[in-house]
Every structure is written in structure tokens, then in C-alpha cells.
Amino acid sequence: MGEVIAVISGKGGVGKTTAVANLGLGIAFEGKKCALVDFDLGQRNLDMILGLENRVVYDMVHVMDGEASLKQALVKSKVNENLFFLAASQTKDKSVLESSKIKKLIDDLRKEYEFVILDAPAGIEGGFEHTIEFADTAIIVVNPEVSSIRDADRAIGILDSKSQKVKDGLEVKKYLIINRIRPEMVQTGEMLKSSDIFEILNIELLGKIPEDKGIIDASNRGNPIILNNNSLAGEAYKRISARLCGKKVPIVNVESLHGDGIFKKIAGIFK
């Protein structure tokens, strides 16, 4: 049975969808079968970031309503055959989501895939609650700023009170990704340090991702940054994917790295 991971944040725009696309590919490159499900109804960003928007015919609501089978609705990645994607419905009407139908969808997915990753919408309302409902694990994505940490704390509170696992007396595993770290701003104290963030959230660190200008272009082109071998953010996503697959990979303190510096050093070695 596969592991169901909800990627959540509370605050919008911190990098959840970007993380889902990159981790999905990273896990697929680790040789594991992975399905990504877009729970952000009415937005549909994940298909674009994966470069699959033209291939979507059926979405999750078609599957839940029995109008299409999972096999018909899942879209295969163009770059790795282990990765599949299920699109969100275009409707913004959250009432199309019903717990019993979501449970069936997720149970069917976890039979086929080793990892099922759910991309949560912004906020902590209806769509968010459905995303966390049947998750085994949550990845909480934050930016190193107070508003993001505060909203993540609220999201964790809801996770710990409303998910099915907790209702069953079990625990949902929680991991933290700190995204968009700008070393120079951490050093001048303008951005929160990782240690400040742990103190508030107190959950296990899965990885740190630096701010990377290349991410926007990569997303626009439908080629997630993990496919770029010259990107520090791409490398960070590779390490996180390996950790999720059970590999022991040390956490790199991206706060003390300077993009330029490290690539110059690497280039120097091969001169």
C-alpha cells in the first residue's frame, strides 16, 4: 500500500505546487511509482508546471462520479514513466468533493502507486480539509517569514484534529520544507533562521530550498527545475525526494551557500 502525502501550507503562494511537481519527478527518478493529484479546484496549476495541460481530458471529479476510470483520467509524465498526474476539476464549487468519494479515490490510488502526493489549495477551508482528510503524512511548506509560519501553525492544528488518522487514534507524520531561502537576507537578519522556525513549529525538517530565479521560467515551460542539473533548488529537491524514498541524505544548510560561489568552485575543480 502506498503512502499518501498531503502538501500543505496554510498561507498561499509559498511553493506547494512547485514542490509537488518537483518531488513527484524526483521520486519517479528514484524508481518509485508516483501519482500526483491536484486538489486545488478551479486553479489547475500543477498540469502546467508538469507541461501536461494539453493532455488532460478527465479530472478527479469525473473519476469520483464514475464518468471516467482512474486509468482514463491519469496522465503519464512525458519525462518519466513512473509519474502520473490527476487533474483538478475546473469548477470552483468545493461541494463537488465528498469524503466518501475522496476516500475511494485515494484508496484506489494507493493500491497502484508507492507514493500518492496531494497538492492542497491555499488557505485552511473546505478544499484544504479534504486534502488532509486521508493523508498518512503531511509536508508543510513554509517561507522564512512570520505570516507563513503563523498560517502553517494553524494548518498543523487542523491536521492534528481533523484528519482520519487522528480520529482513528493514530498520528499523521509531519515534515517541514523551508522554501525560498535567501542566504544574504538570513545573514542580515531580515529573514527568519531555520532554528527560529523549528522553535515555533517543532516538526521534523525534510529539507531547505533556496530562492531560485530559474523556477518561474522552469514552471512556465513545463520543465520542473529538478530537471536542471545546474540549479541549487533542483539539487535540493533531489535530496528531499531521496529522503522521502528512505535514503539517508544529509541536510544542506542552503543559508550558507551562494549559488554563484558553489558553481564556480565546482567548475574550478574540473578545470
Ligand X SMILES: Nc1ncnc2c1ncn2[C@@H]1O[C@H](COP(=O)(O)OP(=O)(O)OP(=O)(O)O)[C@@H](O)[C@H]1O
Residues of the shown chain interacting with ligand X in the complex, contacts defined by CB under 6 A: 9, 12-18, 40, 45, 121-122, 179-180, 209, 211-212, 215-216, 219, 233
Largest CA distance in the chain: 60
Smaller CB separation from Mg ion, 16 or 243:
16
Compute φ and ψ for 80, nearest 5 degrees.
-150, 130
- Cβ proximity to ligand X: between 41 and 75 the closer is 41
CB of 249 to Mg ion, least distance (A): 26
User: Which range binds Mg ion by CB under 5 A, 15-23, 58-66, 130-138, 167-175?
Assistant: 15-23
Least distance from ligand X to the Cβ atom of residue 223, Å: 12
Contact 151, 9 (CB under 8 A): yes
Stretch that binds Mg ion, among 8-16, 67-75, 166-174, 176-184 (CB under 5 A): 8-16
**In whole angstroms, how close is the CB of 118 to ligand X at the nearest point?**
12
Nearest approach in angstroms of CB 119 to Mg ion is 6
d(CA 191, CA 212): 16
Provide the minimum distance between the beta carbon of 236 and ligand X in the complex, in angstroms, as a whole number. 8
Q: What are phi and psi of 180, to 5 degrees?
A: 65, 40
Work out what residue 223 binds among Mg ion, ligand X, none; the CB cut-off runs from 5 to 8 Å by kind. Answer: none
Which is closer to ligand X, CB of 74 or CB of 152? Answer: 152
Please, which residue, 70 or 257, has the CB nearer to ligand X? Answer: 257
Q: Min. distance of Cβ 170 from ligand X in angstroms?
A: 27
With the C-alpha atoms ordered 60, 63, 67, 72, is the resulting torsion angle positive or negative? positive
Please report whether residue 17 would count as binding Mg ion according to CB under 5 A: yes
Q: Which does 215 bind (CB under 5 to 8 A by kind): Mg ion, ligand X, none?
A: ligand X
Q: Residues 121-144, buried b or exposed e (16+ Cβ, 10 A)?
A: bbebeebbbbbbbbbbbbbbbbbb
Q: Which does 209 bind (CB under 5 to 8 A by kind): Mg ion, ligand X, none?
A: ligand X
> SS3 of 214, please?
helix
Stretch that binds Mg ion, among 16-24, 25-33, 130-138, 242-250 (CB under 5 A): 16-24
150, 9 contact by CB (below 8 A): no
Name the one range near Mg ion by CB under 5 A: 11-19, 167-175, 226-234, 255-263: 11-19
Q: Is 148 in the site for Mg ion (CB under 5 A)?
A: no
Of the candidate spans 17-25, 48-56, 107-115, 155-163, the one that interacts with Mg ion by CB under 5 A turns out to be 17-25
Q: How many CB atoms lie within 10 A of CB 271?
A: 4
Q: Are the C-beta atoms of 177 and 203 separated by less than 8 Å?
A: no
Residue nearest to Mg ion according to CB distances in the complex? 17
What single string gives the DSSP state of each residue in 76-130? Answer: E-SS-TTEEEEBPPS---GGG--HHHHHHHHHHHHHH-SEEEEEPPSSSSHHHHH
> Cell 499518501, residue?
4
Q: CA angle at residue 26 from 20 to 27, to 5 degrees? A: 90
Q: Which residues bind Mg ion (CB under 5 A)?
A: 16-17
